[in-house]
Structure 1
């Protein structure tokens, strides 16, 4: 069986799953359809002031395959791209509509902290999985900053993987989400929401599934 044939079969499976998901009852549709492994690198200067956050997103195999097919990349089906193909792919996920927050959120001492517009830091493809990187500037003291990665609608599930890297004189502490509480919240909200309202939009439960990264710069 050739690699190209396997890719075609995977593509057909992805499209079939997409069709099936459209038939799932509205409460089932609240579960994520795209899965993204997320890595964060936090940049802090020598005085403890924030410079920004680099975000790396590695997309699941089905979504990666759909993107590559849509952009007509990896035509030989080997799961790798040449430099010209990578150039075409770079920035594919940074064309944000007005109001979109980039599924990355920061607060400082409980108050919202504004992240800058995304700046591409490159893209790679390994064994068919797309990883894109972008940087978002953030000013002000790093101490007391908290960072979360989530899609409010929970259409996309972000999972923090590995250790959060801090470039500078601070440390990061990661607090996992309480998943039992998160799923209980989903159940309560969906059962309490009229079906007609669910057709207009699902409850914004994504934050309940997000780990919290807390920065501390005290000695």
Structure 2
């Protein structure tokens, strides 16, 4: 099930304004917007976790509008536009903690700054790929790592890439340590939060932190 979500988030408004993305009031009345993500957990040779390689695919309609606007920019190719767009996305998401919370054994893990990223067209969808490094590299052996990726104000729904009702094989990957158990737990929002989200009008945003209640949780448990 995909929840009705907002068309723009604070983190996206900067680059959309730069592209002069215009939508009619009727188009914004009841938008559906989501991001399909896949995550690869990165480790070093000592078995310490160093970051998350994330792939975000924007929903098809949103992607279509962005590609159309990029192609309208005079004197620039689509690839050039995507290069600039990638930088805008990265800069805007940086102020939002890249929409990502990571914990190891329940303790919040500080994040580093993203320097490796790209925006591209993949399967006719706007795709943003980036490596989110951690400020420290804790050992995974004997630990439990969890993460959530969500829009704090719940303009957009963020869900793992799925096949039918189940996460796809690529939704969460850890290649270096096959002994670890990987799982993706669905969101289980309180009914009051579901009602709160459903009452938001097109020109309203949710309270900061609302998106957390609708976030899936990726989990890595290593013996």
- CA apart distance, 1:114: 1.1
How many residue pairs end up in the alignment? 185
1:28 corresponds in structure 2 to none
Shift of 1:176: 2.5
Q: Identify the residue that residue 139 of structure 2 maps to in structure 1.
A: 141
Question: Would you say 1:131 and 2:127 are equivalent positions?
Answer: yes
In structure 2, C-alpha distance between the alignment counterparts of 1:187 and 1:214, rounded to whole Å? 24
Distance 1:111 1:127 in 2: 37
Pick the structure with more helix per residue: 1
Question: Is the contact between residue 33 and residue 155 of structure 1 (CA under 8 Å) also seen in structure 2?
Answer: no
Note if contact 1:190-1:203 (Cα within 8 Å) is conserved in structure 2.
Answer: no
Give the equivalent residue in structure 2 for 1:7: none
Aligned to 1:120: 116
| Structure 2 length-normalised TM | 0.68
**Alignment gaps of 5+ in structure 1:** 1-13, 25-31, 76-80
CA distance in 1, matches of 2:58, 2:193: 24
Cα deviation digits, residues 171-211 of structure 1 (max 9, x gap): 35223224xx42613245569x9x9xx96853632122222
Within the candidate set 87, 91, 95, 1:91 is matched to: 87
Partner of 1:20: 26
Paired residue for 1:27?
Answer: none
Distance apart, 1:101 and its partner CA: 1.1
Is residue 177 from structure 1 mapped to residue 186 from structure 2 by the alignment?
A: yes
Aligned to 1:211: 216
Cα distance in structure 2, aligned partners of 1:200 and 1:125:
28
Query: Which deviations, in whole Å up to 9, do the C-alpha atoms of 1:61-84 show, x marking residues without a partner?
Result: 222123223433699xxxxx7654
Gaps of 5+ in 2: 1-21, 162-167
Q: Larger Rg: 1 or 2?
A: 1
Distance in 2 of aligned mates of 1:114 and 1:22:
36
How much is the aligned-residue C-alpha RMSD, in angstroms? 3.3
Q: Out of 171, 174, 187, which is 1:166 matched to?
A: 174
Calculate the TM-score normalised by the size of structure 1.
Answer: 0.69
**Any conservation in 1 of the 2:153–2:205 contact (CA below 8 Å)?**
no
Distance across 1 between alignment mates of 2:83 and 2:39: 23
CA contact (8 A) 1:106 1:148 kept: yes
